[in-house]
Amino acid sequence: MSDSGEYAPSDNSIPDKLTSKTSFLSLKLYIVIGILLLCAVSVFVAIFLFIRLKKNSRNRIVKMRVKHSSGLIPLVSKEIVEIKALDRNVNSVKAEDKIGNKDFKEPEEIKIEIDEIVKGGKGGGGGEKSGGSDASGGSRSDVSVEAENIGWGRWYTLKELEVATRGFAEDNIIGEGGYGVVYRGVVNDGSVVAVKNLLNNKGQAEKEFKVEVEAIGKVRHKNLVGLVGYCAEGAQRMLVYEYVDNGNLEQWLHGDVGPVSPLTWDIRMKIAIGTAKGLAYLHEGLEPKVVHRDVKSSNILLDRKWIPKVSDFGLAKLLGSEASYVTTRVMGTFGYVSPEYASTGMLNEGSDVYSFGILLMEIITGRSPIDYSRPAGEMNLVDWFKGMVASRRGEELVDPLIEVQPSPRALKRALLICLRCIDLDANKRPKMGQIVHMLEADDFPFRSELRSAREKDPHPSRADNVSAKITYPSKNGGDGDRWR
């Protein structure tokens, strides 16, 4: 204020100060303040983002840990690739056989029968009807309805499964596959189950759910993971399986198991035989037959006695007994899919046989079907395997983590079975039932040895003659015991 009482701005008024130049690059004060404010905001945003990112990654790690909560089951990273393209280019098949060895068959022309009729989902819809629930998309909204016995298993209420999994707690997550999260649960009769909470989209997951429930519900076999029930309420679709408590084969083959694998040669062959029996039952013991379509090591669950149980029938489709069919969408896992299925979508049990051949190679070698971390010539298991057999280096194929080597004849037999399974001509591949016998025949002496034994002993024991006796199952509509 001036003496006269009038307002006279002093030299040091705030606006003047703001517009005065500072020593910092001769910028005016308000600009410097602006820059400082901007810096402070940026730092704040950066810190906020950093904290959020850290929290997310911690969550992910926690989830990874609970995946295999027993701690005894080795962890592996998985690469699941769904092949969607219906690539009809047979060149990809020709490229398959690159080694040019005369011992191996030249790829043959693949005839695409476009007129083949798609025959999926022919199960008759018995499963959910007998339970009085509507698994086909119509919702079973009455949560209070008691769980029902549906002949082959049970219809579970959502509430029951919520209780069983303690509210679908993260701690109970066993793992996550392409079709949803799998939880460990204890249902009210005290039994432990695996609850597969299917993704809730209206498309594939629901379709697969119907297929699984209708086709697989009644299938019972020692080497197949049993479906013990399901839940269909509102948009929720869940499958309840028997719980298999020793992880899956992929984890034991490719996880960190130390310098010596607990999977000895004999255990590996036992796993291969059990898996083959499970698949043989699907192909040859059921009418209509079931093609698995996604045979791979992560779908082979193991119990504490190393008994294998083939899981994940989400991709299975029912087939008419004589028919093969063309699907509009090729599904399966990269590295295991047969060339004809990948290139034409033609599907029959021969595709499973091919995948089983790859699985057997994986069991023998301990190597993944595709492994980009290996040298160029070894990335593709099939190519490397064929090359090694062709150059008579079969012994080098055996997983170095196997301590006690197999006998040369046991190894030779297993290698030959692999090669027969991946024959490019699907018609020449053996049936799963034959593979069971070929693998089991390894327990018995070869003919030449039998002959020399007979010469020594004219009255051989019964066991010596078993190898000559090969019986095949009749299609009797589901006698699982035949294959046990």
Ligand X SMILES: Nc1ncnc2c1ncn2[C@@H]1O[C@H](COP(=O)(O)OP(=O)(O)OP(=O)(O)O)[C@@H](O)[C@H]1O
Residues known to be catalytic: 294
By C-beta, is 127 or 180 nearer to ligand X?
Answer: 180
Does 312 engage in binding with ligand X (CB under 6 A)? Answer: yes
Beta-strand pair 300-302/290-291: unpaired
State the nearest-atom distance from the C-beta of 32 to ligand X, in Å.
Answer: 58
Contacting ligand X (CB under 6 A), which of 175, 274, 345, 369? 175
Contacting ligand X (CB under 6 A), which of 157, 172, 297, 298? 298
By C-beta, is 246 or 338 nearer to ligand X?
Answer: 246
Of 49-57, 140-148, 172-180, 273-281, which part binds ligand X (CB under 6 A)? 172-180
Pick the closest to residue 223 from 312, 309, 313, 311 (CA basis). Answer: 309
Q: What mask, x for binding ligand X by CB under 6 A, covers residues 241 to 260? A: x-xx---x------------
Task: Report the alpha-carbon distance of residue 239 to residue 159 in Å, rounded.
Answer: 14
| Maximum separation of any 2 CA atoms in the chain, in Å | 141
* Site size toward ligand X, by CB under 6 A: 21
By C-beta, is 96 or 250 nearer to ligand X?
Answer: 250
Task: Report the alpha-carbon distance of residue 332 to residue 340 in Å, rounded.
Answer: 13
By C-beta, is 173 or 438 nearer to ligand X?
Answer: 173
Cα 469 to its chain centre, rounded Å, is 35
By C-beta, is 243 or 356 nearer to ligand X?
Answer: 243
Contacting ligand X (CB under 6 A), which of 133, 223, 297, 299? 299
- DSSP category for residue 109: P
Does 178 engage in binding with ligand X (CB under 6 A)? Answer: yes
The contacts of residue 68 (CB under 8 Å, 6+ apart) are 74, 75, 174, 175, 247, 251
Say whether 196 counts as a known binding-site residue. Answer: yes
Q: Which residue is nearest to ligand X (CB)?
A: 177
- CA distances to 258, 365, 401 from 268, in Å: 17, 11, 12
Say whether 188 counts as a known binding-site residue. Answer: no
Q: What is the DSSP string of 352-381?
A: HHHHHHHHHHHHHH---SB-TTS-GGGSBH
Contacting ligand X (CB under 6 A), which of 131, 177, 332, 369? 177
Contacting ligand X (CB under 6 A), which of 90, 224, 291, 301? 301
Say whether 299 counts as a known binding-site residue. Answer: yes
Q: Locate 198 and state its tokens.
A: 């299917």
State the nearest-atom distance from the C-beta of 246 to ligand X, in Å.
Answer: 9
Does 424 engage in binding with ligand X (CB under 6 A)? Answer: no
Of 150-158, 175-183, 372-380, 384-392, which part binds ligand X (CB under 6 A)? 175-183
Q: Locate 102 and state its tokens.
A: 């005369």
By C-beta, is 90 or 291 nearer to ligand X?
Answer: 291
State the nearest-atom distance from the C-beta of 308 to ligand X, in Å.
Answer: 12
Beta-bridge mates of residue 197: 181, 238
Say what the alpha-carbon torsion angle 4, 6, 12, 18 is, to the nearest 10 degrees.
Answer: -170
Contacting ligand X (CB under 6 A), which of 96, 206, 294, 340? 294
Q: What is the DSSP string of 11-51?
A: TT-HHHHHHSB-SSTT-BHHHHHHHHHHHHHHHHHHHHHHH
Q: What mask, x for binding ligand X by CB under 6 A, covers residues 220 to 239? A: -----x--------------
Task: Report the alpha-carbon distance of residue 333 to residue 295 in Å, rounded.
Answer: 8
Task: Report the alpha-carbon distance of residue 349 to residue 295 in Å, rounded.
Answer: 11
Q: Residue type at 84?
A: K
Site for ligand X in 134-153 (CB under 6 A): none
Chain positions contacting ligand X, by CB under 6 A:
80, 174-179, 182, 194, 196, 225, 241, 243-244, 248, 294, 298-299, 301, 311-312
Query: Annotated binding site for ATP, which residues?
Result: 196
Query: Annotated binding site, which residues?
Result: 196, 299, 312
